[in-house]
Amino acid sequence: MVSGQRALLEDNLGYHFKNTQWLNLALTHRSASADNNERLEFLGDSLLNFVIAEALFERFEQAREGELSRLRSQLVKGETLAQIAREFSLGDYLTLGEGERKSGGNNRNSILADTVEALIGAIFCDSDMATCSQQVRQWYAQRLAALTLAAPSKDSKTRLQEYLQKRGWPLPVYQVEAQAGEAHARLFTVSCSVSGLTKPLIAEASNRRDAEKLAATEALKQLGELDT
């Protein structure tokens, strides 16, 4: 990575490395080198869980263990980490093997999430626990501020499944009908076949999961479980 690119990424992260080898290692996927970010990812995963647990413990003084665990899971899950990675445009800076790069690895949720954890481990190795904790809390500031102890509403896929189960009907069947676009701008077309509806519901989104949720939402509307 050239110095200009590195400086831009460090500005986005809000942290400038004293030893840039930690940054380079955090951005190196196992497909590119035997000297990769997997060990840093292991360390960063533990650090992330601790920092978020501490932040939640401090903020929600009356919360029970189960409530704190639910909130922590929401914040440290792969989907959230991938969102953070995209906010930093991490995909533009990853070092991937040729095959992984050609298959769109720089936009894959699992790789992006692992890289965020590796960066947390790298920051710890480059500095100390206090600095690492401060950095993670800064990245999560808006998400932490938006949290409440109220149970999250169920997504459309869960609601549709429960609706069908209560009636003893088969579960919905989701199928990817088509994929299009470049790796950084994929478009998934998904169908959702539901008992009680004559035709499958079709939806499109940039990833399979979101397309399935949209199709489930349309199914719930046709079943009269959501307002149209």
pLDDT digits (tens, 9 = 90+) for 36-69: 999 999 999 999 999 999 999 999 999 999 889 9
Question: d(Cα 138, Cα 15) in Å, to the nearest integer?
Answer: 10
**Confidence grade of residue 156 (pLDDT, cut at 50, 70, 90):** confident
Is pLDDT of 227 > 80? no
Residue 139 in domain: yes
Is pLDDT of 185 > 80? no
Which residue of the set 114, 117, 126, 218 is catalytic? 117
- The reply to whether 140 and 191 lie within a common domain is no
**C-beta atoms surrounding 81 within 10 Å:** 24
Residue 20 in domain: yes
- The reply to whether 125 and 31 lie within a common domain is yes
Which residue of the set 45, 114, 126, 212 is catalytic? 45
Q: What is the pTM of this model?
A: 0.69
CATH number at residue 192: 3.30.160.20
Phi then psi for residue 175, to 5 deg, are -145, 135
Question: d(Cα 107, Cα 122) in Å, to the nearest integer?
Answer: 21
How many domains, in total, are found in the chain?
A: 2
Residue 151 in domain: no
Tokens linked to 166: 């209560």
Strands of the 201-205 sheet, one edge to the other:
173-180, 187-193, 201-205
Helix (H) or strand (E) holding 198: none
Q: What is the number of residues in the chain?
A: 228
45 is catalytic: yes
Q: Give the range of the structural domain holding residue 19, as residue numbers without chain letter.
A: 3-146
For tokens 């769109």, name the residue: 104
Average pLDDT of the chain to the nearest whole number: 90
pLDDT at residue 187 in the model: 86
- The reply to whether 188 and 91 lie within a common domain is no
- The reply to whether 88 and 35 lie within a common domain is yes
- The reply to whether 111 and 177 lie within a common domain is no
Q: Is 35 helix (H, G, I), strand (E, B) or coil?
A: coil
Question: d(Cα 72, Cα 54) in Å, to the nearest integer?
Answer: 10
Residue 228 in domain: no
**Confidence grade of residue 184 (pLDDT, cut at 50, 70, 90):** low
Question: d(Cα 204, Cα 148) in Å, to the nearest integer?
Answer: 31
35 is catalytic: no
Residue 172 in domain: yes
Helix (H) or strand (E) holding 155: none
Question: d(Cα 73, Cα 52) in Å, to the nearest integer?
Answer: 10
User: Which of 116, 146, 176 represents a domain boundary (last residue)?
Assistant: 146
